[in-house]
């Protein structure tokens, strides 16, 4: 937690150092050009400033809260579509992102674990949507890359009489499943390697330790459910041609 007594100058210096370090490392390591790092940092500053300015009004109204969650889903869909190179097919990517989020929130609300208030719905919804976005992006990229790299196996399967969805499904299912590894490892190592934000935030807010742990458990298991469903849907979308790169010629 950043001390509230620290002025703006140290905060500015640290943020600039972190951004510059990331940009220099990716450039020196020939991973990327530095501009995506710099632009991402700039967007983060702008977006957090805007959210900070409107969040009080959003949290006070369930209608605005619903609109804000919808905006989150739209931005997540656009981000995943751009990152995976699927172009206008990004609308289908959005299905994978939100398919698990809606029933997860409904379950939390229906059982009373999550109160129907903006201050509860926005952070929980954001966590689940973000997890769905990450799993969708990674699984789409892995699936489409695999389909391109193993195109000969795909053609061979078709020649043997497999239908196109079956052939694609068999090739991409395992690579796409790798997208679940970050969430799986985070769940397996929680408390030993990391203390996630929900747990730490509740402790700093004065909540009992057991309640903070219970909330974090719900978050982690919810992410596993949301991301697992997202990956399964991605596999089916790719198998049926609903998600593919713009340069891919389908049969």
pLDDT per residue, tens digit, the chain (251 aa), is 555 566 778 888 999 999 999 999 999 998 989 999 999 999 999 988 888 888 888 888 899 999 999 999 999 999 999 888 887 767 899 999 999 999 999 999 999 989 999 988 998 999 999 999 999 999 999 999 999 999 899 899 989 988 999 999 999 999 999 999 999 999 998 877 776 666 666 666 666 777 778 888 899 999 999 999 999 999 999 999 888 875 544 43
Q: CA 81, CA 234: separation in Å to the nearest integer?
A: 12
Residue 88: per-residue pLDDT: 72
Q: CA 118, CA 175: separation in Å to the nearest integer?
A: 37
**DSSP code string of 45-63:** HHHHHHHHHHHHHHHT-HH
CB 85 within 8 A of CB 245: yes
Q: CA 29, CA 31: separation in Å to the nearest integer?
A: 5
Cα 213 from chain centre:
22
- The separation between the first and the last C-alpha atoms of the chain, rounded to the nearest angstrom, is 54
CB 139 within 8 A of CB 231: yes
Helix (H), strand (E) at residue 197: helix 197-204
CA distances from residue 127 to 72, 114, 142, 179 in whole angstroms, order as listed: 10, 14, 23, 16
Q: CA 227, CA 231: separation in Å to the nearest integer?
A: 6
Q: 194 - beta bridge partners?
A: 190
CB 216 within 8 A of CB 200: no
Q: CA 28, CA 211: separation in Å to the nearest integer?
A: 45
Residue 51: per-residue pLDDT: 85
- Shortest CA distance to 59 belongs to which of 18, 1, 7, 117? 117
Residue 84: per-residue pLDDT: 87
């Amino acid at each position: 937690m950043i001390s509230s007594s620290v002025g703006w100058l140290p905060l500015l210096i640290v943020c600039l150092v972190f951004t510059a370090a990331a940009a220099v490392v990716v450039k020196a390591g020939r991973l990327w050009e530095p501009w995506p790092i710099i632009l991402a940092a700039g967007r983060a500053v702008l977006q957090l400033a805007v959210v900070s300015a409107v969040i009080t009004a959003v949290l006070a109204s369930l209608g605005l809260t619903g609109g804000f969650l919808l905006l989150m889903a739209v931005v997540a869909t656009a981000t995943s579509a751009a990152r995976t190179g699927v172009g206008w097919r990004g609308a289908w990517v959005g299905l994978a992102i939100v398919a698990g989020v809606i029933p997860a929130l409904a379950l939390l609300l229906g059982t009373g674990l999550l109160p129907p208030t903006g201050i509860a719905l926005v952070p929980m919804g954001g966590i689940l949507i973000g997890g769905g976005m990450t799993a969708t992006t990674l699984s789409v990229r892995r699936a489409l890359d695999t389909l391109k790299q193993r195109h000969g196996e795909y053609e061979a399967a078709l020649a043997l009489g497999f239908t196109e969805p079956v052939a694609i499904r068999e090739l991409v299912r395992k690579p796409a499943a790798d997208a679940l590894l970050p969430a799986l490892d985070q769940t397996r190592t929680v408390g030993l390697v990391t203390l996630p934000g929900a747990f730490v935030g509740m402790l700093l807010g004065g909540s009992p330790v057991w309640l903070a742990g219970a909330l974090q458990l719900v978050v982690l298991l919810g992410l596993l459910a949301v991301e697992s469903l997202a990956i399964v849907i991605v596999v089916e979308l790719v198998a049926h041609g609903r998600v593919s790169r713009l340069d891919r010629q389908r049969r």
